[in-house]
A and B are shown apart, each in its own frame.
Chain A
């Protein structure tokens, strides 16, 4: 369906990434946001808190991040599109209820504007150290989807995609921004509402007496019934059957968890998203994401000008990881160069998937600023000559 024009601020704007993310959420149809404001993500909720009253959305400044995530999960069960916004320290506190959202199959979006960590780290400065936390932060087996914008324009565009993916797969979608993109102001073009494609909540068409909350019809994702619409309603973080009632046995658990994981793994090809440049003759491939991808492109241009055959792959969707493509490339290139603002997270993933077929050269930096492109160029040169 098309976006509701009420939430779409059509036009060309000069916005920072945080504001653009807020605008993306409102354009996507988000009408409930609960959060505990934290630098460098505060401007996302500032924007929403100012705009929601003009067209009817609810923003609640909660007492903490545990409650924020809980409110977002609860509100989603009314059929409303919901989101919370935080940074590393708050993201850690949200993990318990992110797991609950995954287990209850609750569509929602969790924005993390990453700053330098661990702990309170560098509140006002950039980091990309929450990549693995977004993937594995809550306990037990589950899969997530995580997107990673490189500009304010993408903060708008990809937030809409995050909401759409949350609806299709019924899970919490992670929106991994970074401080640099969040606090960077650039041109953002917001299209007309009828040019924005929105996934509505997939409500069941069954009669209440025929409906079970976790019954699967063919696909891997159950149909949705809003709490209060007269359908039987039961949901829990405990392992549950089709009725949503707790079932404490290995058989039900195995089937449930395999389905939670399978709905993402089996559909990875249609969720995975990346951009490539210069792969035709590439001997070395730079793999990057978020703000680091922009800086890395400078290094790639410089290396090419020196005659090095280097390609570039930018992860737009960071989880699920494009395993198939990286594996394919590992068979034809000699090395991957992986710059990231952490001490080696996506580099590990590249190394795992390349499985020794091509070398992995991380270019790491713990946070506080973006890479010096020269450091990336230098590693490309080394990787190409070894």
Chain B
């Protein structure tokens, strides 16, 4: 139980919230020898407004499949933050789309922002925003090795889009490495120029 990490990923329908959750879970369960149980939210809320996926990652079998209070909260929309922001653990990690979410800094929590939509736009495809976020998540949380995440991205995206998605992943990962090298709690982030190719 002590190794149990609970994660919630949220955004609005169409951002690829479930795919982001799937990739992180797949990286843990298939490419990193962990147990990972993903549950996606079903129901009217999955169409258009706040959409959410939860993950439990553990060294041992996951017996209780739902999350109670996440250790890591990945949020890609303001509405998602409003709905689930309060449940993050006191010492939890917040990972957010900084142009769409304006979080309140809570003492004890770590917060990492990324302009994932703009970074995706810089690749010419806004649709890979979620993969930029997955890369950023990989870098700031170091939950599993980046290589496991890369394998999961490669295996989970539509055939023919692997290169674009891996590029998006690297973009987010690189941004994370710069963020982590700076004091995290201040939510200081390098400018876009610094990470442009």
Kindly state the separation between the CA atoms of A233 and B36 in the bound complex, as whole angstroms.
Answer: 51
Residues of B close to A183: CB separation below 8 A: 39-40, 42
Mark interface residues in B28-54 (1 if CB within 8 Å of A CB, else 0).
Answer: 011000011111101100000000000
Contact of B66 among A13, A14, A185, A369 (CB under 8 A): A369
Interface size on A, residues (CB 8 A): 21
B171 at the interface (CB under 8 A from A): no
Query: A184 to B30, Cβ gap below 8 A?
Result: no
> B26 on the interface (CB 8 Å rule)?
yes
Please name all residues of chain B whose beta carbon is closer than 8 Å to the beta carbon of A14 when the two chains form the complex: 22, 25-26, 29-30, 36, 38, 152, 156
Q: Which residues of A contact B62 (CB under 8 A)?
A: 186
Digitize A168-196: 1 where CB-to-B-CB distance is under 8 Å, 0 elsewhere.
00000000000010011111000000000
The 10 A-B residue pairs with the shortest CB-CB distance, nearest first, are: A14-B26, A124-B42, A185-B38, A187-B29, A124-B43, A294-B63, A298-B63, A12-B30, A297-B63, A186-B37
Report chain A residues within 8 Å CB of B26. Answer: 14
Q: Are B38's CB and A184's CB within 8 A?
A: yes
* Contact indicator B63/A295 (Cβ below 8 Å): yes
- Would you call A370 an interface residue if the criterion is a C-beta within 8 Å of the partner chain's C-beta atoms? yes
On whether the beta carbons of B65 and A184 are closer than 8 Å, the reply is yes
Q: How distant is B27 from chain A, measured CB to nearest CB, in Å?
A: 9
Interface residues of A in 217-267 (CB under 8 A from B): none
> Count the B residues whose beta carbon is within 8 Å of the partner chain — how many?
20
Minimal Cβ-Cβ distance residue in A for B68: A372
Pairs across A and B, CB under 8 Å, 25 listed: A14-B26, A14-B152, A124-B43, A180-B39, A180-B65, A183-B40, A183-B42, A184-B37, A184-B65, A185-B22, A185-B37, A186-B25, A186-B35, A186-B36, A186-B37, A186-B38, A187-B29, A187-B36, A294-B63, A294-B65, A297-B63, A298-B63, A298-B64, A370-B66, A373-B64
CB-contacts of A348-386 with B (<8 A): 369-370, 373
**A291 at interface by CB-CB < 8 Å:** yes
The complex places the Cα of A123 from the Cα of B44 at a distance, in Å, of: 11
Task: Give chain B nearest CB distance to A192 CB in angstroms.
Answer: 18
Chain B interface, DSSP helix/strand/loop, else mixed: mixed
A339 to chain B, nearest CB (A): 13
B35 to chain A, nearest CB (A): 8
B38 neighbours in A (Cβ, 8 Å): 14, 184-186
**Central interface residue in A40, A185, A298, by most chain B CB within 10 Å:** A185
The distance in angstroms between the C-alpha atoms of A39 and B42, with both chains bound, is 9
Q: How far is the CA of A39 from the CA of B66 in the complex (A)?
A: 19
Give bound CA distance, A185 to B55, whole Å: 9
**A92 CB, min distance to chain B CBs, angstroms:** 21
A221 to chain B, nearest CB (A): 38
A174 to chain B, nearest CB (A): 23
Query: Contacts A14-B25, A14-B30, A187-B29 given: A295-B37 contact, CB under 8 Å?
Result: no
CB distance from B51 to the nearest CB of A (A): 13
How long is the Cα–Cα vector from A370 to B63 in the complex, in angstroms? 11
Determine the chain B residues whose CB is within 8 A of the CB of A294 once the complex forms.
63-65
Complex Cα distance, B36 from A297, in Å, reads 18
Whether B39 pairs with A295 at a CB distance below 8 angstroms is no
What's the Cα separation between A187 and B29 when bound, in Å?
A: 6
With A186-B37, A187-B29 already in contact, the answer to whether A40 and B65 are too (CB < 8 A) is no
Question: Which residue on chain A has the smallest CB distance to residue B41?
Answer: A124
Write out the residue numbers on chain A whose beta carbons fall within 8 Å of the beta carbon of B40: 183, 185
Of B29, B42, B63, B66, the contact of A186 (CB 8 Å cutoff): B29
A residues in contact with B37, CB < 8 Å: 184-186
Q: Which residue of B lies closest to A296 (CB)?
A: B63
Nearest B residue to A185 via CB reads: B38
- Nearest chain B CB to A382 CB, angstrom units: 21
A298 cross-chain contacts in B, Cβ below 8 A:
63-64
Using known A-B contacts A13-B30, A14-B30, A124-B43, determine if residue A185 contacts B25 with beta carbons closer than 8 Å. yes
Which among B25, B39, B64 has the highest number of chain A CB atoms within 10 Å? B64
Chain B residue contacts of A124, Cβ below 8 A: 42-43
CB closest residue in chain A, given B27: A14
Residues of B with C-beta under 8 A to A40: 42
Complex-state Cα separation, A12 to B36, whole angstroms: 13
Chain B residues within an 8 Å CB radius of A123: 43
